[in-house]
Amino acid sequence: MVKTRRWILIVDSDDAFRKSTADLLVSHFGKEVKIVEAIDGNAAIKKIKNQTFHLIISDWELPKKSGDELIEATRTNTFNAHTPLIILSKEEVENIEKDFEFVNFVKKPIDPFEFAQIIRNLFNLGSTEKMISASIFASLLDSSIAFLEEAMQRKDFSVGEMKLKKSGDELTGDHAAIITVFIGKVSNTFSVLCSAETLEALRDNSKKISGSSLDVICKSLGFVILKHVLTDCGIINHNEVHTKDVSQDPGLLTEKQGIVVPISASGIDYKIFATTKGGDK
């Protein structure tokens, strides 16, 4: 069965680059994608005014319109206000992922395999209306590892394979910190799931949480890391952060769809889960 066709707009003045990118996408996604091309910013803006795209891939230095003008036009457009964007440039574009929500930066020349994986992850996450950007999720993982390395005084933590959790699939863990973030009318749930052994190891290595219950440690762990990430990404001042009661039963997350990433080390069972569909307030 053929999957739902995803329309992708490629914007670049270089004919050869547009063709090579289109060929790369077709080789990885086949009939799943339909490619539309634009040679400059004006042509791209005309196209987004008349059609919804699942993804826009654009060079930063565009003829006739700049990259930031294209992003602004996309975000104020009815059809593509929530379309993920990938911005490409040979030079680093400072703070682009902080200045623009749901925009991902990739430096040229692109690595074909890594670029295809970025796109695959965006397809898994869905539209930005139903997710927090991949850059924030990556920051959440980085902050989690940094916290665990410092709290447990060890350097062997690594990020495992990102997997899509479907509604109905169970998540394992003795304790779960469930945190809901509201961005406008959209809500997303981030969760930290830990084994009792992991939380006990954290408690044993920290004087600050000595004597605390494992539920309290798990809740604090999730909220502190998430607050740090949202502050670092510059959006916490514009949104409310709500926490739900910690439960030892991650069954509360069973019906939610999202992305699960394990963080592993010897004797450690720790997972990050982020929904791709908003929950109820």
How is residue 99 written in tokens? 């200045």
Range picked from 105-109, 158-162, 239-243 for highest mean pLDDT: 105-109
Most confidently modeled of 10-24, 140-154, 259-273?
10-24
Tell me the pairing of strands 85-89 and 103-107. Answer: parallel
Question: How far, in Å, CA of 89 to CA of 105, rounded?
Answer: 8
The pTM (predicted TM-score) of the whole model is 0.53
User: Who wins on pLDDT, 48 or 274?
Assistant: 48
Q: Is the dihedral of CA 79, 72, 55, 7 positive or negative?
A: positive
User: According to the CATH classification, is domain 6-129 in 3.40.50.2300?
Assistant: yes
Task: Tell whether the model's pLDDT for residue 126 goes beyond 50.
Answer: yes
Q: Is 42 exposed, middle or buried (0-12, 13-18, 19+ CB in 10 A)?
A: middle
129-143, 182-196, 218-232: least confident range? 129-143
Lowest mean pLDDT among 67-81, 118-132, 155-169: 118-132
- The radius of gyration of the chain from alpha carbons, rounded to an integer in Å, stands at 20
The pLDDT of residue 259? 80
Q: Is the pLDDT confidence value at 172 over 80?
A: yes
What is the pLDDT of the chain when averaged over all its residues? 80
Provide mean pLDDT across the span 27-56. 91
* Domain 134-275: top CATH class: alpha beta
Angle at the Cα of 74 from the Cα atoms of 68 and 75, rounded to 5 degrees:
90
Q: Which of 180-184, 208-212, 213-217 comes out lowest in average pLDDT?
A: 180-184
Looking at residue 1, its pLDDT comes to 35
Residue 253's CB is within 10 A of a number of other CB atoms, namely 24
pLDDT at 28 over 50: yes
Rounded Cα distance between 149 and 162, Å, is 21
Domain range summary for the chain, segments of one domain joined by +: 6-129, 134-275
